[in-house]
C-alpha cells in the first residue's frame, strides 16, 4: 500500500468506551465500533485514532496504563480487537492506537517492583531521588489535597518519584536502555496485531531531563530508533506525536534525521480561534507563515477540537482573554486557566455558516485533517461533568434511549448522554441527519469527498495570498499533484477581494470546485473573488483533472 498514505488521510478520533455499546453494559466496546465501521467508511474516514485501549485503573481516561499487553476488559478482549482490525481493513480504514509511554500507572508491575526493591532493575525504570529537591518543578495536574509539585513521596520505596502529570502516573526513565527495549517490544506486539502506527502521547516530556534521568548524547535519538524500528517491522506504519510547542521547534521532532512522521499542529489551532474571535484572518495567516517546510516523508495534522481542553497557551494573555470572552464567557467553560472545555459547535454558537467555514478551513489548511467523533453532527458538551469529561459525552446515534449508544439504564452509562436542549440526542443524531440531505453530516461527507479529490492540500507547499482585506484568508497549495486555492471570509459581511494570478505563473486556468454556494465563475481577467458572510471557495487548476 502507499507508504505515504497519511499525507492524504482523513483521520477520525474516538474513545471506544463512549462510541457504541454492543452488550448493553453501558460502556462502548470493540464489537460496537466494528458495527459502526460502515458508517465511518461512508463518511469518508480512512484512518481511526483510538484513545487508550490498554488495561488501566482508568483514573486518567486510560492514559494511566497498568499493562501494555492487555486490553481494557470493558472494551472486549484480544479476539475482539483482531476482528476489529480485519473488519476495518475490509472497508479501507487503518487504525492508530494511543501509546502513552512517558509514564505508567502506579499499579503497573514495573512500578510495584521498583517500590519493593531498591536493587531491582525496575527501580531504574522510573526517576527517583532520596531527598526532595530544594526547588521542585511545579505541577498543574496535582490532585486535590496533593502538593502542586512534580515529586511524590512513596512510603514503601522511602524515596521521591517524578511525575509530569498526575501523581498516580510516575514518569518512566526514557534514558534507560532497558525501558527503550520494553517500548520496542510493546510496539512490535501491536504492529503484529495489525495497527498502522501509534499516536505518541506527551512527546516533549519524554526527553526532558528530570531528576537523575541523564541521556547519553542526543535524547532525540530515541525517536529515531522508534521510527527505524516501526518502519522495519511495518514499512507503512507511522508515528503521530503530540508536540504542543512553538513551530520553530517542530523540525526537532519531524526532520532532523527521521523522527516522527506526523505532528499535531497546535500552534495554528490556537490562532485559528483567535481569528474566529476577531472575525478577521490576519492572526491565522501569520501563524501559517511560521510553519516549517514539510518534506515528502513528514506531515502536520490539523484539527479543530480534540479530546482534551482547547489549550490556548500559544496565545498571549490578552489574546487568550479575547478568545475566552468570545467563546467561554462563563468561568465553568474554562479549565486550567488556559483552556476551554467546550465542543466546537457550541463554541461557534451552533451557527451553520461558521461551522462550515471552520471545517472548510480544516480540509484546506496544509496537512492531514483530524475529526473528533460527533464533530460531524455538531455535538455539544455537558458542562455539568467535571474537567475534560465535559467534551467526552457518548456518541449520539438516534432519537431513542440514551441516544442509541446503549440500552443500559441511563445511570449505568460510562459517561453522560446529552439530552434535551439544542444539542440533545433528540435533535442531534446520526439517524436523523442521515435522512436529511441538508444536514451538517451530509455536508461534512461531501466536503470530505472534495478533500480526497484534490490531494494537493496534503502534499503541497502553502503560500499566503495578499487579499488586501484582513477579513479574508487566501492561500494556495502547490505540489506536483496540482494546485489548490482557497478563500475564507471570517466576517459576517460580504467581501470582495482581488486575486492577481501573476503571483505565480502556474496559476492559470483555475476553476471553482467547491464553496458555500454556487458563485459566478471566477474570471481571471476581472480577478475578483466574491464571498458571502462566512463564505468559502475552493479553486483548482483545470488541466490537473482533465
Q: How many CB atoms lie within 10 A of CB 236?
A: 15
Q: Supply 21's cell numbers.
A: 455499546
Q: Of 21, 55, 171, 242, which residue is the catalytic one?
A: 242
Place of cell 490556548: 312
* Cα-Cα-Cα-Cα dihedral sign, residues 533, 291, 318, 205: positive
**The total number of residues written for the chain in this structure:** 546
Strand 159-162, strand 94-99: pairing: unpaired
Q: Of 55, 171, 201, 376, which residue is the catalytic one?
A: 201
Burial of 169 (0-12, 13-18, 19+ CB in 10 A): buried
Contact 227, 259 (CB under 8 A): yes
Q: Return d(Cα 483, Cα 477) in angstroms, integer.
A: 6
Distant-in-sequence, close-in-space partners of 518: CB < 8 Å, separation ≥ 6: none
Cα 134 from chain centre: 37
422 a catalytic residue? no
242 a catalytic residue? yes
Between the alpha carbon of residue 520 and those of residues 158, 495, 537, the distances in Å are 74, 14, 11
Q: What is the DSSP letter of 149?
A: B
Q: What is the DSSP letter of 385?
A: S
Q: Return d(Cα 197, Cα 236) in angstroms, integer.
A: 8
Active site members: 201, 242
Amino acid at each position: 500500500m502507499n507508504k505515504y498514505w497519511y499525507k492524504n488521510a482523513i483521520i477520525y478520533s474516538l474513545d471506544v468506551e463512549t462510541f457504541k455499546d454492543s452488550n448493553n453494559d453501558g460502556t462502548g466496546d470493540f464489537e460496537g465500533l466494528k458495527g459502526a465501521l460502515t458508517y465511518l467508511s461512508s463518511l469518508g474516514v480512512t484512518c481511526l485514532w483510538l484513545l487508550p485501549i490498554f488495561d488501566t485503573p482508568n483514573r486518567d481516561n486510560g492514559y494511566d496504563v497498568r499493562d501494555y499487553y492487555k486490553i481494557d476488559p470493558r472494551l472486549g478482549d484480544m479476539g475482539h480487537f483482531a476482528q476489529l482490525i480485519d473488519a476495518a481493513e475490509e472497508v479501507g480504514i487503518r487504525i492508530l492506537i494511543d501509546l502513552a509511554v512517558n509514564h505508567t500507572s502506579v499499579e503497573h508491575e514495573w512500578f510495584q517492583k521498583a517500590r519493593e526493591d531498591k536493587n531491582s532493575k525496575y527501580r531504574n525504570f522510573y526517576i527517583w531521588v532520596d531527598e526532595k529537591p530544594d526547588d521542585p518543578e511545579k505541577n498543574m495536574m496535582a490532585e486535590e489535597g496533593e502538593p502542586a509539585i512534580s515529586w511524590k513521596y512513596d512510603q514503601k520505596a522511602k524515596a521521591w518519584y517524578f511525575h509530569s502529570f498526575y501523581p498516580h502516573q510516575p514518569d518512566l526513565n526514557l534514558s534507560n536502555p532497558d525501558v527503550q527495549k520494553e517500548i520496542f517490544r510493546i510496539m512490535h506486539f501491536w504492529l503484529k496485531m495489525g495497527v498502522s502506527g501509534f499516536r505518541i502521547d506527551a512527546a516533549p516530556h519524554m526527553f526532558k531531563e528530570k531528576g537523575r534521568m541523564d541521556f547519553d548524547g542526543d535524547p532525540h535519538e530515541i525517536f529515531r530508533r522508534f521510527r527505524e524500528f516501526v518502519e522495519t517491522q511495518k514499512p507503512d506504519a507511522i508515528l503521530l506525536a503530540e508536540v504542543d510547542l512553538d513551530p520553530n521547534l517542530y523540525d526537532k521532532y519531524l526532520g532532523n534525521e527521521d523522527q516522527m512522521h506526523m505532528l499535531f499542529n497546535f500552534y495554528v489551532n490556537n490562532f485559528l480561534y483567535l481569528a474566529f474571535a476577531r472575525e478577521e484572518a490576519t492572526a491565522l495567516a501569520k501563524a501559517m507563515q511560521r510553519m516549517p517546510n514539510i518534506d515528502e516523508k513528514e506531515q502536520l495534522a490539523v484539527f479543530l477540537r480534540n479530546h482534551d481542553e482547547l489549550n490556548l497557551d500559544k496565545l498571549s494573555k490578552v489574546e487568550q482573554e479575547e478568545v475566552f470572552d468570545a467563546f467561554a464567557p462563563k468561568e465553568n467553560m474554562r479549565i486550567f486557566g488556559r483552556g476551554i472545555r467546550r465542543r466546537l459547535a457550541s463554541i461557534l454558537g451552533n451557527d451553520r455558516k461558521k461551522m462550515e467555514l471552520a471545517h472548510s478551513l480544516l480540509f484546506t489548511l496544509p496537512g492531514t485533517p483530524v475529526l473528533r467523533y460527533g464533530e460531524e453532527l455538531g455535538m455539544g458538551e455537558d458542562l455539568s461533568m467535571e474537567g475534560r469529561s465535559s467534551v467526552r459525552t457518548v456518541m449520539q446515534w438516534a432519537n431513542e434511549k440514551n441516544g442509541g449508544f446503549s440500552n443500559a439504564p441511563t445511570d449505568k452509562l460510562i459517561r453522560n448522554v446529552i439530552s434535551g436542549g439544542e444539542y440533545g440526542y433528540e435533535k442531534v443524531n446520526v439517524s436523523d441527519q442521515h435522512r436529511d440531505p441538508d444536514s451538517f453530516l451530509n455536508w461534512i461527507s461531501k466536503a470530505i469527498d472534495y478533500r480526497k479529490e484534490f490531494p494537493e492540500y496534503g502534499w503541497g507547499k502553502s503560500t499566503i495570498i495578499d487579499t488586501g482585506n484582513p477579513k479574508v484568508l487566501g492561500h494556495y497549495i502547490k505540489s506536483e499533484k496540482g494546485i489548490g486555492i482557497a478563500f475564507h471570509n471570517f466576517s459576517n459581511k460580504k467581501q470582495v477581494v482581488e486575486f492577481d494570478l501573476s503571483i505565480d505563473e502556474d496559476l492559470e486556468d483555475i476553476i471553482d470546485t467547491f464553496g458555500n454556494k454556487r458563485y459566478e465563475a471566477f474570471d481571471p481577467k476581472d480577478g475578483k473573488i466574491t464571498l458571502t458572510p462566512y463564505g468559502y471557495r475552493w479553486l483548482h487548476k483545470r488541466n490537473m483533472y482533465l
